[in-house]
Structure 1
Amino acid sequence: MSAKHSNRRTQALALLEKLEPGAPERVAKNLDDFHCEAAEILLGFAFTDVVAREGIPLKVREMLTVAMLAAMGTGPGQLEFHMRAALNTGASHDEIVEIVLQVAVYAGIPAAMNAITAAKSAFMAR
């Protein structure tokens, strides 16, 4: 079995489907167009090895991911995706708002302003 079609890849894409229906096809194509093992390596690590762990519920993991991406301020596309994923896994509109306000305190107003832009897009997508 090639790395491109491994069980690890399959598990990662299945979890990605839970986060946002339809996302696995887009993400896998993007990564496969870059390199045949990129999805196995990147998604396998992120979604199979870490996010799929049982120690924290998926909703909480997504809320944490939103906070970290918002604080980093370097991945607007990923931030918006994970805001939608948080909503898809049970986080509420109000919880996303509270995360963004918390980001303002610890990461600064510019990070929060960028997160507000992503949140507005994520809310509109629903």
Structure 2
Amino acid sequence: MISSNERYTRGEKALAEIDGQAGQAVIDSLADIAPDLARYVIEFAFGDVYSRPGLDLRAREIATIAALTAMGTARPQLKVHINAGINVGLSQQEVVETIMQMAVYAGFPSALNGIAAAREVFAERALAA
């Protein structure tokens, strides 16, 4: 059986690789109000799910960007995962195409909002470069 400590260590490594500073900022923002939630994100989302074999990180981020776009209510998380997608090798065009695909399944408002979030991320990354 895998210990909680092993899951946490594996999750921290995955979080740093995938989300970088944006992911750590999310974890840090939970420290004073919901430290257990921060631990769950690290252990479960990144230590268990993101670390599974079967899909590479690019595919996982495409799925995540699509899901968050379709939800239409998770703009901060969508921006984190657009950054993550780029961090793991997605091009800006692949991000845009993933979001555009959601117009068919989640509607134009969700896709338009997703594109607006992508525009912000691309601009922020250009400024940081």
* TM-score (normalised: structure 1): 0.87
User: Shift in Å at residue 32 of structure 1?
Assistant: 2.0
Structure 2: stretches of 5+ with no match in the other structure: none
Distance in 2 separating the partners of 1:90 and 1:36:
30
User: What residue in structure 2 maps to residue 42 of structure 1?
Assistant: 41
User: Shift in Å at residue 27 of structure 1?
Assistant: 2.5
For the residue of structure 1 that corresponds to 2:76, the secondary structure is helix
Aligned letter for 2:90? Answer: A
User: What residue in structure 1 maps to residue 109 of structure 2?
Assistant: 110
User: What residue in structure 1 maps to residue 86 of structure 2?
Assistant: 87
Distance in 2 separating the partners of 1:25 and 1:96:
22
User: Shift in Å at residue 26 of structure 1?
Assistant: 1.9
Structure 1: stretches of 5+ with no match in the other structure: none
User: What residue in structure 2 maps to residue 12 of structure 1?
Assistant: 11
User: What residue in structure 1 maps to residue 67 of structure 2?
Assistant: 68
Change (3 A) 1:83 1:24: closer
User: Shift in Å at residue 9 of structure 1?
Assistant: 2.3
Distance in 2 separating the partners of 1:32 and 1:6:
18
Aligned letter for 2:75? Answer: P
Aligned letter for 2:71? Answer: M
What is the CA deviation profile of residues 37-86 of structure 1, one whole-angstrom value per residue up to 9, with x for unaligned ones?
Answer: 22222321111111111110001100110000000111100001101100
Instruction: Give 1:45-56 correspondences, 5 Å limit.
Output: 45-56=44-55
**How many positions carry a matched residue from both structures?**
122
User: What residue in structure 2 maps to residue 57 of structure 1?
Assistant: 56
Identity between Structure 1 and Structure 2 (%): 40
Moved more, 17-26 or 86-95: 17-26
* TM-score (normalised: structure 2): 0.85
Contact 2:20 2:84 in 1 (8 A): no
1:77 equivalent in alignment to 2:52: no
Question: Which segments of structure 1 move beyond 4 Å, counting only runs of 4 or more?
Answer: none
